[in-house]
Amino acid sequence: MIRGDERARADDEGAPRRPRVLVVEDDESVRRAIVRLLSEEYDVASESSGLDAFEHLDAAVRAGGAEPDVVLTDVMLPGRDGFAILERVKGDPRLRGVPVLMLTARASLDDLVDGLGRGADDYIGKPFNGAELRARVAAAYRARTLQRELAQRTLALEAALAELAEAQQRATERAKLAAIGTMVAGLAHELNNPLGIVLAQADRALRTELPPRARDALASILRQAGRCVSLTRSLLSLSRDEGSAMAPASVQVAVECVVEAARPQAEEGRVEIVVRAADDLPRVLACEGDLETAIGNLLRNAVQASPTGAQVQLSAQRSPARGAGVGAGTAGVEIVVRDRGPGIPAALRERLFEPFFTTKEPGKGTGLGLSLARCAVERCGGSLALEPADDGLLARMWLPAAEAS
């Protein structure tokens, strides 16, 4: 028999509904008797021929979500028989899970084996006992319910597995970053002192009277030593302690700062940076320099990827509470950097966040920009994703607000 919780099962729209049974029987008195027996617990639809049953099933599939939960069909029917109905149900991916119970006066062993062999879920011999028929329909419906639950759980399990795989990938990336960080932090730290001296000495020498070639050479030393300093800084920030002090920080200020820093390169490539930042942005909790690192790297990448004369758009706006995933239920700030460059080939998408992965010429990129950006965003409790666009790339960053708005 149907249990109360099963009877109250919700349909796809969430409204409770009674289970549906389709009865196909050409003998009117038998059909009526079955409908009477089942009506108390089910929404029973009945048809008197195979053709009508086909039309009923076609219409239910077309309507979507109106399919019966159980089909109870006579074997001997005018036109198309019970086996044809069985094949119709089991051959259609949208109906395949619906249990089919075969009903026949010819309850011979051959019929039974034939029906079950073709995929029938149960067999009831005529004349039937009312209590037995109800019990078998209830059992079939229970099996159907369990099968649906199993399918839902399988889906949930698959989603959880995908999430786990993603988390594992991130954990591997983080572990790689941590290992690299530890390894190079010492080296970077030690390099900082001699580099500082190289910079200071080159700068001092440049202030003296020098032939032009020597000046050029010193200027080049200054530029390259400067690059080394910024590289050591990046490497040091990869290994930064997770427990670094966090404080409320202004996104507007960070945006202004990184736009100013990116301007010279943008002007050189005749790329226009268009900024749209809302006035009412909440502050976000971040370690010092994290916002500039995150937004700055995305902006630099966008400028570098842009063709001459193109626009890079940087927008920052208040973002409503998130429904799911990272930062669920928290309000925050969404920062989007949009460029009109070549975008990213699908084959490379997985690798971009790997430290030291770059497609730029030697000396043009370290391949640390995106891994540093993601590191910084995740320290703030946010998320960062690159989304391909028709013409270019869209980098979307979300950061949780420091205080409830």
Q: Does 344 bind ligand ATP (CB under 6 A)?
A: yes
Q: Does 181 bind ligand ATP (CB under 6 A)?
A: no
Q: Does 229 bind ligand ATP (CB under 6 A)?
A: no
To ligand ATP, the closest distance from the beta carbon of 223 in angstroms equals 15
Q: Does 365 bind ligand ATP (CB under 6 A)?
A: yes
Nearer residue to ligand ATP within complex by CB, 316 or 386: 386
Residues 369 and 379: their CA atoms lie apart, in Å, by 15
Q: Which does 125 bind (CB under 5 to 8 A by kind): Mg ion, ligand ATP, none?
A: none
Residues 359 and 344: their CA atoms lie apart, in Å, by 10
Q: Which does 186 bind (CB under 5 to 8 A by kind): ligand ATP, Mg ion, none?
A: none
Residues 229 and 231: their CA atoms lie apart, in Å, by 5
Number of residues that bind ligand ATP (CB under 6 A): 22
* Type of residue found at 138: A
To Mg ion, the closest distance from the beta carbon of 353 in angstroms equals 11
Site for ligand ATP in 231-260 (CB under 6 A): none
Nearer residue to ligand ATP within complex by CB, 161 or 389: 389
Q: Does 341 bind Mg ion (CB under 5 A)?
A: no
Q: Does 371 bind Mg ion (CB under 5 A)?
A: no
Q: For ligand ATP, which residue of 366, 375, 380, 399 counts as binding (CB under 6 A)?
A: 366
Q: Does 393 bind ligand ATP (CB under 6 A)?
A: yes
Q: Does 301 bind Mg ion (CB under 5 A)?
A: yes
Tell me the per-residue interface mask from 302 to 341 with ligand ATP, x by CB under 6 A, - otherwise: x--x---------------------------------x-x
φ/ψ of residue 147, rounded to 5: -65, -40
Q: For ligand ATP, which residue of 7, 195, 206, 357 counts as binding (CB under 6 A)?
A: 357
Q: Which does 220 bind (CB under 5 to 8 A by kind): Mg ion, ligand ATP, none?
A: none
Q: Which stretch binds Mg ion (CB under 5 A): 149-157, 216-224, 368-376, 387-395?
A: 368-376
Q: For ligand ATP, which residue of 125, 289, 367, 381 counts as binding (CB under 6 A)?
A: 367
Question: Which residue is closest to Mg ion by CB?
Answer: 369
Residue 352 CB neighbours (<10 A): 17
Cβ 23 vs Cβ 43: under 8 Å: no
Q: Which stretch binds ligand ATP (CB under 6 A): 5-13, 173-181, 184-192, 359-367?
A: 359-367
Q: Does 285 bind ligand ATP (CB under 6 A)?
A: no
Nearer residue to ligand ATP within complex by CB, 49 or 313: 313
Q: Does 369 bind Mg ion (CB under 5 A)?
A: yes
Question: What would the two tokens of residue 147 be?
Answer: 């099968």
The C-alpha R_g of the chain, in whole angstroms, comes to 34
Q: Does 297 bind ligand ATP (CB under 6 A)?
A: yes
To ligand ATP, the closest distance from the beta carbon of 205 in angstroms equals 28
Q: For ligand ATP, which residue of 369, 374, 377, 401 counts as binding (CB under 6 A)?
A: 369
* 3-state secondary structure labels for all residues of the chain: CCCHHHHCCECCCCCECCCEEEEECCCHHHHHHHHHHHHCCCEEEEECCHHHHHHHHHHHHHHCCCCCCEEEEECCCCCCCHHHHHHHHHCCCCCCCCCEEEEECCCCHHHHHHHHHCCCCEEEECCCCHHHHHHHHHHHHHHHHHHHHHHHHHHHHHHHHHHHHHHHHHHHHHHHHHHHHHHHHHHHHHHHHHHHHHHHHHHHHHCCCCCHHHHHHHHHHHHHHHHHHHHHHHHHHHCCCCCCCEEEECHHHHHHHHHHHHHHHHHHCCCEEEEEECCCCCCEEEECCHHHHHHHHHHHHHHHHCCCCCEEEEEEEEECCECCCCCECCCEEEEEEEECCCCCCHHHHHHCCCCCCCCCCCCCCCCCHHHHHHHHHHHCCCEEEEEEECCEEEEEEEEEECCCC
Question: Which residue is closest to ligand ATP by CB?
Answer: 369
* Residues lying near Mg ion in the complex (CB under 5 A): 301, 369
- Please give the residue ranges that form the binding site for ligand ATP (CB under 6 A): 297, 301-302, 305, 339, 341-344, 352, 357-360, 365-371, 393
